Amino acid sequence: MARELHISSLVVHARPEAADAIRPAMARLPGIEIHGEANGKFVLTLETESEQTIVDHLNTISLLDGVLAATLVFHHVEELTEAE
């Protein structure tokens, strides 16, 4: 079975007063990078090896105290060759 790289973007809406607690909790998840933030809204990218990991991360983020919504905006899959 070929290995895959899943590249996704997410938008997270949170209560602005909860942003300082949510930011480090999201940043600890493997493969996540926070690219922008304003008034409790975050733009993230996520690199994973499976769709299931995307779903798991979305669920984890959604359950953080103060998160109102975590939405998948974009998803792309690259098949990796043996060399990659």
DSSP 8-class letter at 2: -
pTM, to two decimals: 0.89
Structure tokens at 21: 């607690």
Q: Which helix (H) or strand (E) is 3 found in, with range?
A: none
pLDDT value for 63: 97
Distance CA 63, CA 84 (A): 34
User: What pLDDT does residue 1 have?
Assistant: 56
Instruction: Flag whether pLDDT at 9 surpasses 60.
Output: yes
Show the domains of the chain with their CATH numbers: 4-79 (3.30.70.920)
Q: What's the pLDDT tens digit per position in 28-81?
A: 999 999 999 999 999 999 999 999 999 999 999 999 999 999 999 999 999 987
